[in-house]
Structure 1
């Protein structure tokens, strides 16, 4: 742990990583599964409404922490670090391994990290943006020097395969970044927001009490309400962080929004007057991986050569709560 804050202390991303479970399901795989229960849908129906063609599901017995550890190892390698260099772990997840302890503590044990703080952030699909902002603040104040921020989800475990409007949308995966203290700015601005009045439009309304499941532990969503809110708040968050950093949309090299629905993503880019070629898209191959979607897309863009050092990147998340946020950074 660093002992004291510095007035010139900033945060930068030193490395990225991701992991997808080996099991890859096409739309047709889900169409066939649903048909066995008498539920009709089609590949065309899914693609037209969402842009999704594939998603990955974790095998039985594979947990969010397992996916998180693999993503973290790739990020550490990219950053030239070892687990011993990490003094903070933040895991964003809505599908934790246990009620407690946190998935972050489990990741810490599996990585063999010797100490430092470890905790989870629960903001559903905005979770990675929330986690990045919290870790940035802790590094800037001197509480930590090098952090792992991870988004990891096994949403396949909470899907209702009798509801064709939701079960085709989500997948499993994990993405991670190593954040480190820097003398030059990396993370430039961030904004976090929530509107608890909208809890019911996207939720998993179940809990555990007395050894029994109380309520309904499966995902429920009002798709139209989510769509309408998402488009508005994503533009609002983007403009807010640009203003904070003294930047304009023309300064943005890459927009990496939460990968939920291609129409929401494209509409957000249009509202910001960003050309389609600046939009990073992985939703077609990953589906909606909730808190993992932004770091998964970031890592893929970095490893493919799209995002390069010096690029200005706008990250955005929006999800149940209703939560939303954005981070502007110079990569």
Structure 2
């Protein structure tokens, strides 16, 4: 009897920008409320409360000469170099992002040609059967790219895919909005390959949902909060409180559904690699997940976090986290043969997804 085809991670890569922006860099900013009124608190207080809520102390920004496609290329090259594979054997290059290439000093998006085609060209891949395309799926975009690659592989339509998540959120933030301090830049990538020979090192199950009717506008684009700003530019905006409530209600249920599909017990999960959006929110999501199983407390090292020093780099957070662990660059965390992990994300749309993977 023919063995079932499964999808497996062969190699990972990432690019962490060189420029570190600490919280005190925002001390001179002029912040306003959504209605354009003064906040009524000094910036030192605003920044202190921001750190208490999010856990963010610093974040990374790209250099002026870099864009989402150029750092996506660097993450992709890292993954391919780590794999030792012939780049011409790739069947798909899937690039998750939300704003395309945004040049320094501007917030105008550039989506033509696609970032996937740009990165394929930078990699020098000439094989026309290597199909390159983008997906815009909010912060869960890279995880969804992994799910799409898994479908191609299991259907026999591909043997090897490169999935990249890359974003330069620093280029599309409103400097007069406190939420600006959340966002950062970065890129992560993984090579995914078909296998029939093993039960370990494969994607076991996944689950995706879109909650659009009531929640699509929790993350959107809008004008600056500065009432004197007349340039009509738009920036990323967020309803933080409602998004927090949405995530706590829905993300644990999606993870639970994926675990049930994989027939994996929560107690058997070694790590939960969750989108790094907010320290307290992620901790609350994990706590709610354990409560769904009638458990009071999760293991202290179950959910590795990078948000304190990398901020929220959208589609890049999960693949960067995975790459750091795989390459022994995240102290106190490792993954070994047989370990089962959850990879999950939530973001604009509102979209949620989860993948169960066994190393």
1:31 matched to 2:59? The reply is no
Cα distance in structure 2, aligned partners of 1:234 and 1:53: 25
Cα distance in structure 1, aligned partners of 2:356 and 2:43: 38
Unaligned runs of 5+ in 1: 1-5, 207-213
Between Structure 1 and Structure 2, how many residues are aligned?
A: 316
- Structure with the larger helix share: 1
Q: Greater shift after overlay, 220-229 or 180-189?
A: 180-189
- Counterpart secondary structure, 2:146: helix
Cα distance in structure 1, aligned partners of 2:251 and 2:18: 32
Q: Greater shift after overlay, 104-113 or 264-273?
A: 264-273
Cα distance in structure 2, aligned partners of 1:266 and 1:147: 32
- Counterpart secondary structure, 2:234: coil
CA distances 1:189-230 after superposition (whole Å, capped 9, x unpaired): 111111112222111259xxxxxxx97520111100110001
Cα distance in structure 2, aligned partners of 1:27 and 1:163: 14
1:192 matched to 2:204? The reply is no
TM-score, normalised relative to structure 2: 0.84
Query: CA distance change for structure 1 residues 154 and 252 in 2, over 3 Å: closer, same or farther?
Result: same
- Counterpart secondary structure, 2:272: strand
Aligned to 1:69: 73
- Counterpart secondary structure, 2:235: coil
Cα distance in structure 2, aligned partners of 1:254 and 1:288: 19
Unaligned runs of 5+ in 2: 32-37, 102-109, 224-230, 291-297
- Counterpart secondary structure, 2:116: helix
Cα distance in structure 2, aligned partners of 1:158 and 1:62: 14
CA distances 1:52-96 after superposition (whole Å, capped 9, x unpaired): 111111122311111111111111122222322322100110121
Query: CA distance change for structure 1 residues 160 and 199 in 2, over 3 Å: closer, same or farther?
Result: same
Match of 1:279 among 298, 303, 306: 303
Cα distance in structure 2, aligned partners of 1:145 and 1:84: 12
Cα distance in structure 2, aligned partners of 1:114 and 1:286: 34
TM-score, normalised relative to structure 1: 0.91
- Counterpart secondary structure, 2:315: helix
CA distances 1:24-79 after superposition (whole Å, capped 9, x unpaired): 111112234458xx984334222101011111111223111111111111111222
Task: Check whether the contact 2:29–2:176 (CA below 8 A) recurs between aligned residues.
Answer: no
Aligned to 1:86: 90
Query: Could you say which structure has the larger radius of gyration?
Result: 2
Cα distance in structure 2, aligned partners of 1:57 and 1:95: 15
- Counterpart secondary structure, 1:179: strand
Task: Check whether the contact 1:127–1:291 (CA below 8 A) recurs between aligned residues.
Answer: yes
Cα distance in structure 2, aligned partners of 1:54 and 1:190: 32
What is the root-mean-square deviation of aligned Cα atoms in Å?
1.9
Match of 1:145 among 122, 144, 159: 159
